[in-house]
Amino acid sequence: MPKIKLPRSSPSIDMTPMVDLAFLLVTFFMLTTKFRPEEAVTVTIPASVSTTKLPDNVITVSIDSGGRVFYDMESKDVRMELFKDMAGRYKVTISTEDEQRFSICGAFGQPMANMVKYVEAGEADRKPMNQASGGIPIDSAKGDELADWVNLSILADATIQANKIAAGQKDAKRAAFAIKADKNAKYKVVKQVIDICQKQGVSHFELITTVSSRPKT
Amino acid sequence: MADVDSGGGSGGGHGKHQKKRAKKLSTKLDMTPMVDLGFLLLTFFMLTTTFNKPKVIGLTPPVKDTSHVKVDTTSLTVILSGNNKVYYYQGLLAESSDKNNINITDFSAKGIRQVILGKNVFVSDLIKDAKAKHDAGKISDSIYDRVKDSAEGKKKALFVIIKTDSVAKYVNVVSMLDEMDICNVGKYSLIDATKGEIDMIRDYNQKNNIK
């Protein structure tokens, strides 16, 4: 009887397609990942059953459990414009580098008097500054700086979006206001922030929440 | 060049006059480290990327003028206070403390939700059929939402006035807005508690020994 010869297959397999795919995925994740600067303030957000997603162009007002107010927005162009305008209003001299630094500094909660020092500080030095700060002043007696931030953000955003539309960009959309408040923040403070924004003409707010499952009714 | 005469190694050249041959290098490259690194990066980016954006509750608070808040006998007023306590009363607030119509409850599933559901039977009856079909996947979300919105907007649908005092926490307000969604209440308003209500709550707490 003749022996049946099994066809010898090489023990090494061609891994090229797998490697190709792996690198394709690496490229995809590298391009889609957006690195955020470290959160300036810790906020534990409450849960809700809402499934509405946060819109794209948002200005976020964060309120921590101690009632400190922090301010943040995504668009770099608007941030640069805003910082220039704020410096003008508060008669603070800033350089173009300061504007650049401000455009990538994430959420901030300093009175305007400290802002230049804050943006010029390194990442490591900002942390203790954030911890020591009392947030953006919202008390009308001590100078309501939040109102100016909101007011000038709306103007800066309008300018930038109008420029985008003029340049033919279709995705230009006015900024929405989001409130990211801590569970244990007093509603009184949240209301004060809402009132300040309302006075500047903001009528709709997005309250940021985490998802919880909908109970049966 | 760097060869040391080792005296008869297998790789050494014996004859001095032999032609030097260029070493044949394999055209195959060991790609293992590159692939390792590739997968390392892949794992890193996969773990750090978050795709889902946070969810939001839309809120359009009333402007200073609260004249649109028309309290009648069918409306329900809910007052949020400290320590996750919820006070509520139907219709108008009693004039004097001996007719105090305030009740107390909490945020548990058997608390304020049952109160609101009990008073909102009108809407839940109207949408009962649509809800059953929606849960069974027979009608789409948008159709269900339309039925729900129209029922919630009807004149006989429940109107809830959410009020807060100075110690209420933000999480209470969010939970209350959430209850509005869960209990199919489309008409609600978020305003401050009046002095009369705060007095009435204090009176209620004293009578019932609530701290």
Q: What is the pLDDT of residues B183-199, one digit of tens each?
A: 888 888 888 888 888 88
Q: How far is A214 from chain B (nearest CA, A)?
A: 7
Q: Which residue of chain A has the CA closest to B128?
A: A217
On the question of pLDDT at A11 being above 60, the answer is yes
Q: How far is A142 from chain B (nearest CA, A)?
A: 21
Residues in B touching A196 (Cβ below 8 Å):
none
Task: At B28, list the tokens.
Answer: 């195959």
Q: Which residue of chain B has the CA closest to A186?
A: B169
On the question of pLDDT at B53 being above 50, the answer is yes
Of B35, B166, B182, the CB nearest to A188: B166
Task: Answer for the pair A61, A70: CB distance below 8 angstroms, yes or no.
Answer: yes
Q: Is A49 on the interface with B (CB under 8 A)?
A: yes
Q: For residue B51, what pLDDT band results from cuts at 50, 70 and 90?
A: low
* pLDDT the model gives residue B167: 87
Average pLDDT over residues B88-115: 80
CA distance B115 to B176: 12
Residues in A touching B56 (Cβ below 8 Å):
50, 52-54, 178, 206-209
pLDDT per residue as tens digits for the range A44-76: 888 888 888 888 888 999 999 888 999 998 888
Higher pLDDT, B65 or B138: B138
Of A54, A188, A190, the CB nearest to B53: A54
Task: At A46, list the tokens.
Answer: 């409450």
Q: How far is A192 from chain B (nearest CA, A)?
A: 11
Of A204, A210, A215, the CB nearest to B58: A204
Of A188, A194, A208, the CB nearest to B56: A208
Q: For residue B10, what pLDDT band results from cuts at 50, 70 and 90?
A: very low
Task: At B153, list the tokens.
Answer: 């907007």
Name the region of B83 (left: φ>0; alpha: ψ -120 to 50; beta: rest): left
Among residues of chain B, what percentage have pLDDT more than 70? 83
On the question of pLDDT at A185 being above 80, the answer is yes
CA distance A44 to B174: 13
On the question of pLDDT at B107 being above 50, the answer is yes
Task: At B37, list the tokens.
Answer: 């690194």
Q: How far is A114 from chain B (nearest CA, A)?
A: 29
Task: At A160, list the tokens.
Answer: 């930038």
Higher pLDDT, A38 or A11: A11
> With an 8 Å Cβ cutoff, are B42 and A48 in contact?
no
* pLDDT the model gives residue B45: 84
Task: Answer for the pair A105, A40: CB distance below 8 angstroms, yes or no.
Answer: no
Q: For residue B66, what pLDDT band results from cuts at 50, 70 and 90?
A: low
CA distance B185 to B178: 10
> With an 8 Å Cβ cutoff, are B57 and A52 in contact?
yes
On the question of pLDDT at B71 being above 80, the answer is no
Question: What's the mean per-residue pLDDT of chain B?
Answer: 79
CA distance A21 to A93: 51
CA distance A134 to A39: 16
Domains of chain B: 76-120+158-207 (3.30.420)
* pLDDT the model gives residue B64: 66
CA distance A64 to A131: 11
Task: At B118, list the tokens.
Answer: 């009990």
Of B54, B117, B171, the CB nearest to A183: B171
pLDDT per residue as tens digits for the range B29-38: 788 888 888 8
Q: How far is B61 from chain A (nearest CA, A)?
A: 7
On the question of pLDDT at B13 being above 50, the answer is no
Among residues of chain A, what percentage have pLDDT more than 70? 96
- Flag the least confident range among A180-184, B45-49, B96-100, B134-138: B96-100
Burial of B198 (0-12, 13-18, 19+ CB in 10 A): middle
**pTM of the prediction?**
0.76
